[in-house]
Structure 1
Amino acid sequence: MKKSLLILFTVVFALTSCSKDNDPVDNTTVPTLTTLDITDITPTSATSGGDITATGGADITAKGVCWSTSQNPTILDFASDQGGNPSNYTSNISGLTANTTYYVRAYATNSKGTGYGNELEFIAENIFPGEKVSVAGGTFQMGSTTGGADEAPVHSVTVSNFSISKHEITNAQYAIFMNDIGANIDGSFNGVEYLDMDGAAIQISHTSGSFMVDPGKENFPVIEVSWFGAKAYSEHYGGRLPTEAEWEFAAEGGASSVGYIYSGSNTIDDVAWYTTNSGSATHPVGTKSANELGLHDMSGNVWEWTNDWYASDYYSSSPSNNPQGPLTGASRVFRGGSWFSIASSCRVADRNNNDPTGTFNRLGFRPIFFP
C-alpha cells in the first residue's frame, strides 16, 4: 500500500513539474514612450503627443496624453484617447484655465497595463512668437532741451522691470494673430478696425479664408495697424503697449545708455531707415544696428504706438514713478520716427500723436511684457 502511494505521488509530481516547465513565459511589459513637445499653446488648449518606443510585446489598445494641475498625471485625470497603433501620434489638450500651470504625460496601454512618458510642464497662455529683451528698471532723464516744446521740461522718471519685443511686430506675426482671433476679411474685429485692408501700402491680404502676407514681406514691420489693433495684439500674447516712459527708457538703452541722440548711435544711418536712406519704403526688421540693449529699429523704419494719451504739456505734471500718461485725450502717442521721417523726428526724445483709429503706411508697434 505504501509502495503504491509512493509511486502515485512520484507520477503526480512528475506530471506537475512537467506542466510547469512547459508553461509559456509571459514576457509582456507595459509600453515605453516619450512625451512630445507641447505646441500651439493658448489660454484654453494645447497640443502634445507621444512616441511609443516599445509596445511591450502586445498590441496597443489605447494611447494619448493625460494632464493635470498636479504633477505625475494619469489616465484618471484629464486624458485624450487616440485609439490603438500607430506608435507616433499627436493629441489635443483642451478645457484648460488661462494662466494656469499644467503637467502632461503621454500614455499607452496594452494587455499588461499602462505606461507613461516623461512629464512636461507648461502655462496655458498665448506664447509671444518673437524674441524679447529684458530691461532692468531704473531712473533716467526723460525729454529734451533741443526738441519741440512738448519734450520739455526734462524730468526724472523711474520705471520698473519689463521685457520688450526685440523687433517691431512683423507682417507674419500680425497675420497669425488676425487668423487666431478670426478677424473679419476687412481687417476688423467686433466692429473695430485693427488693420486697414484698403491701405495702398498694405502688405497683408485675405485669401482663401485666411490672412496671408505678400511674398517676401513676411519679415517687414506691419503697417496700416490702428492703436486698437496694436493694443489687441499685445494683450493677446499677455503683454501691453509700452507707456511713453517705458518706450523712451528702452530706446535710450536703459541702464546701459550712452546717451545717444538716436536709439543706439549718434550716427543715424547706423541705426535707422529714414527718409534719406530708406528708398521711401519699409525694410526687414533688424537690418540696422541695435541699441545698447540689443533692440532694433527704435529709431526709424516705422513709428511705434504707445499706450499713452497725448498732451503737449504732460511733462510739466508727469509723476516721477512709472508715469502712465494723461487719463483722457483725443489722440495716442507714437514714437521713434519712420522710413518717411527726417533725422530729427527719429530722435529718442521726439514725440508724435494721432487719433487711435488712424492707420498709416509708416506706423507699427512693439509690445512689452511683465513677469
Structure 2
Amino acid sequence: MILSKVCFTGLLISASIDGVLANDSTMARVPSGRYESFVPEKKTPGAPLQAPVLFVKTFDMDRTPVTNGQFLSFVLQNPAWQRDKASGLFTEPGYLLHWEEGLKTGPGAPLTSPVVNVSWFAARAYCRSLDKRLLTTAEWEYVAGPEFFGQTKADRENFLQLILEWYARPSPLVLQSVGQPTRHRLGMQDLHGLIWEWTSDFSSNIASTELRDNSSPDAAEFCGAATLGGKDPTNYASYMRFAFRSSLKGGFSLANLGFRCARDVAP
C-alpha cells in the first residue's frame, strides 16, 4: 500500500516527536511540517497531475473532539444556536436531533461523548466563541496520518487496516466517551475509530476544475460531490475521507460527524 508522505523539516523536538503542551491543557502543540496531499493538481494546463506538498505551520489542536457537554455550555451562552432557535440557513432538521430536548442531552447523548449532528456553521461558531477555529483539511490529514502512529511500514499499514475496519462498522446509537487510549505520538485522541470530523475547507481540496473556476467565493467550500481524483486509489482510508468530505454541504447534520478546534500560534 502506497502511503501519503509526511516530511518533517526543521523541528526542534526529540526523535520521538513528543507533543508540546499548549497554554490550554486540553490542547497540544503540533509542530510544523510538510504534508503531501492525497489530491493531485495540475500545475499548468495540460501538465500531468502532481500531488502538491503543503507546508503546515505550527498550531495548537484540541486533544479530543468537542463533547455534548461542551456544546451544551456553548448553546446555553449562545441561544441562537439552540436546537429550536437555530436558523434554517445554517442547519437542517437533524441538527442536535440526538439530544433529548433543546437544552438537555439525555441518555442518547452522554455529556462526555462527542457532539454530532452539528452543521459546519455551528461547529465554526463554537470554535470562534473560544477564539479558536476549525482545522484545515491539510492540518487534519497531517496530524491524523500513519506517520504519527507507527515507526515502520508494517505499523503504518496495520494502522490503515484498522481504520478501514472502523469504516466498515455501523455507527453505534450511543457514542462512547472521548479520550480513548491512543498511540499518537503527540497525544491526540479519537482521530480515528469514533467519528468523522468537520474541517474548515472540507470540500475545496477536491473540487473539480469547473468548481474552482466558479466566481462565487463560497462555491468550492460548500458545494459537495465534486470530482474526486486522488493520487493513490489504493490508499482507501484517505480515499474514503476525501470522498466523504466531497459529499458534504455546510448545513448538513450527521449522526457520526463532529469536530474539534485549533488555534494559531504566534510566531
Name the % identity: 22
Residue aligning to 1:291: 184
Equivalences for residues 82-161 of structure 1 within 5 A: 131-143=26-38, 153-161=50-58
Residues 165-223 of structure 1 show CA distances to partners (whole Å, capped at 9, x for unaligned) of 111111000000000112365344466545856665x13522xxxx2221470111101
The answer on whether the counterparts of 1:197 and 1:205 sit within 8 Å (CA) in structure 2 is no
Aligned residues: 212
The answer on whether the counterparts of 1:138 and 1:255 sit within 8 Å (CA) in structure 2 is no
Matched, 1:305 2:198: yes
Equivalences for residues 127-276 of structure 1 within 5 A: 131-143=26-38, 153-183=50-80, 185-189=82-86, 192-193=89-90, 200=97, 202-203=98-99, 205-206=101-102, 211-215=103-107, 217-252=110-145, 258=151, 265-268=159-162, 274-276=167-169
Residue aligning to 1:367: 261
Secondary structure at 1:265 match in 2: helix
Paired amino acid for 2:29:
S
Structure ID, larger Rg: 1
Name stretches of at least 5 consecutive residues in structure 2 with no aligned partner.
1-22, 41-48, 210-216, 226-234
Residues 142-165 of structure 1 show CA distances to partners (whole Å, capped at 9, x for unaligned) of 2179xxxxxx74331111110111
After TM superposition, the runs of 4+ consecutive aligned structure 1 residues lying more than 6 A away are 253-257
Name stretches of at least 5 consecutive residues in structure 1 with no aligned partner.
1-127, 146-151, 317-325, 334-343
Distance 1:195 1:177 in 2: 19
- Between 1 and 2, higher relative CO (CA 8 Å, sep ≥ 6) is seen in 2
- CA separation of 1:247 and 1:187: change in aligned 2, threshold 3 A: farther
Residues 19-43 of structure 1 show CA distances to partners (whole Å, capped at 9, x for unaligned) of xxxxxxxxxxxxxxxxxxxxxxxxx
Residue 238 of structure 1 deviates from its aligned partner by: 0.6
Distance 1:198 1:266 in 2: 31
Distance 1:272 1:168 in 2: 21
The answer on whether the counterparts of 1:172 and 1:219 sit within 8 Å (CA) in structure 2 is yes
Taking structure 2 as the reference length, the TM-score comes to 0.64
The answer on whether the counterparts of 2:65 and 2:260 sit within 8 Å (CA) in structure 1 is yes
Residue 289 of structure 1 deviates from its aligned partner by: 2.5
Residue aligning to 1:60: none
Distance 2:62 2:31 in 1: 14
Distance 2:81 2:39 in 1: 42
Residue 280 of structure 1 deviates from its aligned partner by: 5.6
The answer on whether the counterparts of 2:127 and 2:261 sit within 8 Å (CA) in structure 1 is yes
The answer on whether the counterparts of 2:149 and 2:156 sit within 8 Å (CA) in structure 1 is no
Taking structure 1 as the reference length, the TM-score comes to 0.48
Deviates more, 1:218-227 or 1:301-310: 301-310
Residues 50-97 of structure 1 show CA distances to partners (whole Å, capped at 9, x for unaligned) of xxxxxxxxxxxxxxxxxxxxxxxxxxxxxxxxxxxxxxxxxxxxxxxx
Secondary structure at 2:169 match in 1: coil
Secondary structure at 1:235 match in 2: helix
- CA separation of 1:355 and 1:158: change in aligned 2, threshold 3 A: same
Distance 2:197 2:141 in 1: 11
- CA separation of 1:299 and 1:348: change in aligned 2, threshold 3 A: farther
Distance 1:188 1:292 in 2: 41
Distance 2:169 2:25 in 1: 29
Residue aligning to 2:223: 331
Distance 1:295 1:361 in 2: 22
Secondary structure at 1:177 match in 2: helix
Residue 235 of structure 1 deviates from its aligned partner by: 0.6
Distance 1:223 1:239 in 2: 19
- CA separation of 1:358 and 1:175: change in aligned 2, threshold 3 A: same
Residue 308 of structure 1 deviates from its aligned partner by: 0.7
Give the helix-richer structure, 1 or 2.
2
Distance 2:91 2:84 in 1: 6
Distance 2:177 2:165 in 1: 12
Paired amino acid for 1:358:
F
Residue 283 of structure 1 deviates from its aligned partner by: 1.9
- CA separation of 1:257 and 1:249: change in aligned 2, threshold 3 A: farther
Paired amino acid for 2:252:
G
The answer on whether the counterparts of 1:285 and 1:297 sit within 8 Å (CA) in structure 2 is yes
